[in-house]
Structure 1
Amino acid sequence: MSPASSGPALKPTASPSLATSARPVVDPAPASADDPAEAPEAAPEQVPDGRSTRWDSHRAARRIALVHAARKAVHRGGPEISMDEIAAYAKTSKSIVYRYFTDKPGLQLAMGEAVVGQMAEALREAALTATTPRDSLRSMVAVYLEMIEHSPNVYYFVTRTAPGLPFLDSMIELVAVPFAQEMNTSAADAAAWGAGAVGFVRGSGEWWLENRDAADAPTREELTERVTAWLWGGPVGVLAKESRRTDLT
């Protein structure tokens, strides 16, 4: 959950089914003559009123559709899938995909941003519906593990091979909230703990993805409870004891 690190070698899995998500997945339409990516760019002074806005909207919608198609293709074909295979799945040409995303890392970054956005929404909802700070932390751990289990191939694609992707860095503040609520601590302490917690949860989750088929591996639900207990009873418990000792002196 911190910026991607080398980490242990992970084992991509190919899934026979299409990826689903909390949001409806839009099937991309084939590129057509009306696709602005296939038309030459006009100078601003040569574009009639409203045409630029229409093309911008079309490009944005087409880009979203291509990200959805790529996500499905990666879910099926694995994180090492080629751009040719992604373009074929999207029913378009590789040159069109490159026009929208420049290169494969650009597509990986766009897909990663979509995944992070979806996860952020689910984590915020989990935090808002929890009744206690500890339950909030547990809910967020559960959401993360559930989402990476749903499509390991997509997770690997956006975290292992997209350079510069700050995967889940935006989650540090959310994860730090339960800690800050419980400890009434400084923003710096909460941020430091949040960063460590994000890294810990991500590391535990990636280990589990690689080892979940082992006979003695915990279930996702068991790992959720253990990670929550380790995080909450570790630094939170230590600082709580220190706080109580300070109050008594």
Structure 2
Amino acid sequence: MSPVTAATTPGETPVDGRSARWDVHRAARRAELARVARKAVHLRGPDVSMDEIATEAGTSKSVVYRYFVDKSGLQAAVGEVVLDDMHARLDEAVSSAVTPREGLRSMIAAYLEMIDGSPSVYWFVTQPVAEGSSVTLNRFLDDIATLIARPFVALLRGRGGASVLEGQPADVWSAGAVGFVKGAGDWWLAHRDEPGAPTADELAERVTAWLWAGPVGSLARPLPADTTTDPAPVHLDDEEPS
């Protein structure tokens, strides 16, 4: 048996040990370069060049291209690094929440904290992808929406929320919510230093109130038989109706 071929059972395809080790090395190197790129973007801004990223990584631009094809590929990889951090923050936000509304506010606050901590990285991972790039669609916001939907639906279910916010309705809600939060966050980044602008905490509370009174309040209750009649609001948390 070849020294680089692992033993197999009948019907299995032999695995080249050297190839497997190279795959692991390549994945680790790619992840390392993505983290370095994130740091370079944070320090130099969202328009950082591939030359500057290569310099920060202590390598050549051709090596960076070897792992990411083009800048949009690197953009997507940095987005993956940010998503990993967001995943941990959102899990913590949901697990520590007592009510669904509190969980929603905590997730919005975590999102605002992320963009406030490094606006340059935020703009970098959400900017439009260049035409003809290796990545046909920037999926960062789609992935954020998925990240938000699942734990929030689980929290609603745990609090007795209606099953109408399951499956596709949850996907529609989360995509719309992320779009709403992104729009509010973009505005806030541009105006946060102006007199009278809300703090991150104030904005988180306002956006939570708007979302909770609107799509969440509607989707988390069954539609009435007569859709021409506005149903009474359903309170999913422990707060008393106002």
- Name the TM-score class by shorter chain: 0.7 to 0.9
Change (3 A) 1:46 1:102: farther
Q: Which amino acid aligns with 1:203?
A: G
Which one of the candidate residues 88, 112, 120 is aligned to 1:153?
120
Q: Which runs of 5+ in 2 are unaligned?
A: 6-15, 130-135, 222-229, 235-242
Q: Which runs of 5+ in 1 are unaligned?
A: 1-44
- Give the 5 Å matches for 1:111-130: 111-130=78-97
Q: Which amino acid aligns with 1:92?
A: T
CA distance in 2, matches of 1:236, 1:134: 9
Structure 1 counterpart of 2:207:
227
CA distance in 2, matches of 1:196, 1:90: 37
Which one of the candidate residues 231, 242, 247 is aligned to 2:231?
242
Q: Identity, % of aligned pairs? A: 55
The 8 Å contact of residues 113 and 200 in structure 2, kept in 1 or not, is answered as yes
CA distance in 2, matches of 1:182, 1:136: 15
The 8 Å contact of residues 133 and 182 in structure 1, kept in 2 or not, is answered as no
The 8 Å contact of residues 146 and 220 in structure 1, kept in 2 or not, is answered as yes
Change (3 A) 1:173 1:238: closer
The 8 Å contact of residues 123 and 140 in structure 1, kept in 2 or not, is answered as yes
Structure 1 counterpart of 2:180:
200
Q: Which amino acid aligns with 2:59?
A: T
Q: Which amino acid aligns with 1:184?
A: A
- Give the 5 Å matches for 1:152-191: 152-162=119-129, 164-167=137-140, 168-174=144-150, 176-177=152-153, 178=155, 181=159, 183-186=161-164, 187=166, 188-191=168-171
Between stretches 158-167 and 200-209, larger displacement belongs to 158-167
Q: How many angstroms does 1:123 deviate by? A: 0.8
Which string of whole-angstrom CA distances, capped at 9 and with x for unpartnered residues, describes residues 83-137 of structure 1? 0111011110000000011111111111112212221221122112211111110
CA distance in 2, matches of 1:91, 1:244: 58
Q: Which amino acid aligns with 1:164?
A: L
Change (3 A) 1:203 1:182: farther
Q: How many angstroms does 1:165 deviate by? A: 1.5
Q: TM-score when scaled to structure 1?
A: 0.72
The 8 Å contact of residues 94 and 152 in structure 2, kept in 1 or not, is answered as no
Which string of whole-angstrom CA distances, capped at 9 and with x for unpartnered residues, describes residues 38-80 of structure 1? xxxxxxx996753222222221111111111111110011111
CA distance in 2, matches of 1:58, 1:225: 44
CA distance in 2, matches of 1:64, 1:75: 17
Change (3 A) 1:46 1:210: farther
The 8 Å contact of residues 212 and 218 in structure 1, kept in 2 or not, is answered as yes
The 8 Å contact of residues 97 and 106 in structure 2, kept in 1 or not, is answered as yes
- Give the 5 Å matches for 1:57-96: 57-96=24-63
The 8 Å contact of residues 76 and 125 in structure 2, kept in 1 or not, is answered as yes
Secondary structure in structure 1 of the residue aligned to 2:139: coil
Q: Which amino acid aligns with 1:150?
A: G
Q: How many angstroms does 1:176 deviate by? A: 4.7
Secondary structure in structure 1 of the residue aligned to 2:231: helix
CA distance in 1, matches of 2:104, 2:123: 24
CA distance in 2, matches of 1:175, 1:231: 17
CA distance in 1, matches of 2:21, 2:124: 32
Structure 2 counterpart of 1:17:
none
Which string of whole-angstrom CA distances, capped at 9 and with x for unpartnered residues, describes residues 154-191 of structure 1? 11011014451212232342375256656414124433
Aligned-residue Cα RMSD (Å) equals 2.5
The runs of at least 4 aligned residues of structure 1 exceeding 3 Å deviation read 45-49, 178-183, 188-191, 235-241
Secondary structure in structure 2 of the residue aligned to 1:242: coil
CA distance in 2, matches of 1:185, 1:242: 17
RCO comparison, higher one (Cα < 8 Å, 6+): 1
CA distance in 2, matches of 1:56, 1:220: 42
Structure 2 counterpart of 1:212:
192
